Amino acid sequence: MPHPEGATAASAGVKPNAPVVLRDVSKHFGAVTALRDAQLYLHAGEIHALVGENGAGKSTIVKILAGVYQPDSGSVLLDGSPVHFDSAADAQAAGVAVIYQEPTLFPDLSVAENGVIGHVVLDGGSDPLALDAAEVGVASSAATTNPCR
For the ranges 16-25, 67-76, 104-113, the lowest mean pLDDT is seen at 104-113
Question: Rounded to an integer, what distance in angstroms lies between the CA atom of residue 50 and that of residue 31?
Answer: 24
pTM flag (> 0.85)? no
Q: How confident is the model at residue 99 (pLDDT cuts 50, 70, 90)?
A: confident
For residue 23, give the nearest of 63, 93, 78 by alpha carbon. Answer: 78
Confidence check: pLDDT of 140 > 70:
no
Mapping DSSP onto H, E and C, the string for the chain reads CCCCCCCCCCCCCCCCCCCEEEEEEEEEECCEEEEEEEEEEECCCCCCCCCCCCCCCHHHHHHHHCCCCCCCEEEEEECCEEECCCCHHHHHHCCCCCCCCCCCCCCCCCHHHHHHHHHEECCCCCCCCCEEHHHHCCCHHHHHCCCCC
Domain ranges in the chain?
Answer: 20-93, 111-144
Report which listed range, 74-78, 100-104, 113-117, 140-144, is most confident.
74-78
The whole-number pLDDT of residue 141 equals 40
For residue 21, give the nearest of 5, 6, 43, 37 by alpha carbon. Answer: 43
CA 129, chain centre distance (Å): 16
For the ranges 1-15, 53-67, 132-146, the lowest mean pLDDT is seen at 132-146
The whole-number pLDDT of residue 68 equals 93
Fold of 20-93: Rossmann fold (3.40.50)
For the ranges 53-62, 66-75, 137-146, the lowest mean pLDDT is seen at 137-146
